[in-house]
């Protein structure tokens, strides 16, 4: 009973901070770098800015788990699969936040295309559902995400991302609640071969003000990365490590929330097949 009460109190606090959690940055690298993701590339870009998966060259499978505030009731789970083709990169993803009593689910179908070094475009179609238990049933919605990236120079990359640009409503919602519109603009700068910095700004229509994010990544040893970052609104301090070999990568991160405490994130990506 105490755990249930604690979960309800935490969820109430989270609702004030995050609203519905359909656009949480995914992946251990993003989590460790202050939540920066708009200008990042790779498999998890499918859900952070789909344009960033346009350059994937191998079939990739990713698994991600986030233990928020060290409670199983607030766990965040994600899986993604990407298949590059000569016509662009296709992707499938699934996210879930919560437990059997309350959970939020997101199914995504993504496509990204590389139009040269200065332009990558990605689109993801989403089916969203919220399960409120047997007493309150389910709410659902369909929406989409759009992303653009540009490698402006050899060292500088810009990214723009928008979720739910036409503000769809949740079906079966008592008050016909609208999903938030989320906009991100960010950049990544390669200071040296081993050192990269990222920053971005996010505006969520469910929140007052904006969220500012920044992160750094340093390749301390070959294929071994140290990362750290910071975020405002909500205030987070983040750090983590990553290691990769030819066919797999693992990223581990931790976030310290100004009110709710610590969260741990773990992500793995497996790449198979020949270069496309």
Residue 2 has pLDDT above 60, yes or no: no
Task: Report how far Cα 199 is from the mean position of its chain's Cα atoms.
Answer: 15
Residue 117 belongs to domain spanning: 2-272
Residue 100 pLDDT exceeds 70: yes
Question: Span 142-149, mean pLDDT?
Answer: 96
The DSSP output letter for 73 is G
pLDDT digits (tens, 9 = 90+) for 89-98: 999 999 999 8
- The total of structural domains in the chain comes to 1
> How many CB atoms neighbour CB 157 within 10 A?
24
Per-residue CA distances from 156 to 76, 198, 270 (Å): 31, 10, 27
For 168-217, the pLDDT digits (tens) are: 877 665 566 788 999 999 999 999 999 999 999 999 998 899 999 999 99
Is residue 33 scored above 50 in pLDDT? yes
What CATH number should be reported for the domain holding residue 169? 2.40.160.60
Give the model's pLDDT for residue 261: 87
Report how far Cα 102 is from the mean position of its chain's Cα atoms.
21
The answer to whether the beta carbons of residues 104 and 81 sit under 8 Å apart is no
> Three-class SS of residue 72?
helix
Please state, for a pLDDT cut of 70, what percent of the chain lies above it. Answer: 88
Tell me the CB-side half-sphere exposure of residue 43, using CA atoms within 13 A. Answer: 29
- 152 φ, ψ (degrees, to nearest 5): -65, -45
Using pLDDT thresholds of 50, 70 and 90, give the confidence band for residue 4.
very low
pTM attached to this predicted model? 0.87
Rounded mean pLDDT of 58-69?
Answer: 93
pLDDT of residue 11: 44
Q: What is the mean pLDDT of the chain?
A: 88
pLDDT in tens, 210-259: 999 999 999 999 999 999 999 999 999 999 999 999 899 999 999 998 88
User: Mean pLDDT throughout 18-39?
Assistant: 87
**Rounded Cα–Cα distance for residues 79 and 91 (Å):** 11
User: By three-state DSSP, how is residue 223 classified?
Assistant: coil
The phi and psi torsions of 237 (rounded to 5 degrees) equal -110, 135
pLDDT in the model for residue 170: 76
């Amino acid at each position: 009973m105490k755990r249930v009460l604690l979960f309800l109190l935490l969820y109430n606090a989270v609702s004030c901070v995050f609203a519905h959690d359909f656009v949480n940055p995914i992946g251990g690298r993003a989590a460790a770098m202050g939540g920066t993701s708009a200008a990042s590339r790779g498999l998890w870009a499918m859900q952070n800015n789909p344009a960033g998966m346009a350059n994937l060259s191998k079939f990739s499978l990713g698994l991600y788990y986030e233990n928020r505030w060290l409670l199983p009731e607030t766990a965040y789970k994600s899986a993604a699969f990407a298949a590059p083709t000569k016509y662009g990169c296709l992707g499938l993803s699934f996210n879930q936040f919560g437990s059997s009593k309350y959970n939020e689910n997101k199914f995504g179908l993504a496509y990204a295309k590389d139009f040269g070094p200065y332009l990558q475009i990605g689109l993801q179609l989403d089916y969203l559902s919220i399960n409120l238990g047997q007493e309150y049933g389910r709410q659902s919605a369909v929406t989409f995400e759009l992303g653009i990236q540009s490698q402006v120079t050899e060292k500088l990359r810009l990214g723009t991302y928008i979720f739910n640009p036409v503000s769809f409503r949740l079906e079966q919602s008592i008050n016909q609640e609208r999903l938030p519109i989320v906009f991100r603009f960010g950049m990544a700068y390669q200071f040296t071969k081993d050192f990269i910095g990222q920053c971005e700004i996010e505006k969520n229509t469910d929140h007052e003000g904006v969220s500012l994010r920044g992160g750094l990544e340093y390749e301390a040893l070959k294929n071994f990365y140290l990362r750290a970052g910071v975020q405002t609104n909500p205030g987070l301090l983040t750090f983590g490590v990553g290691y990769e070999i030819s066919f797999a990568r693992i990223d581990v991160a931790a976030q310290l929330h100004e009110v709710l405490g610590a969260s741990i994130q773990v992500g793995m990506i497996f790449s198979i097949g020949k270069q496309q």
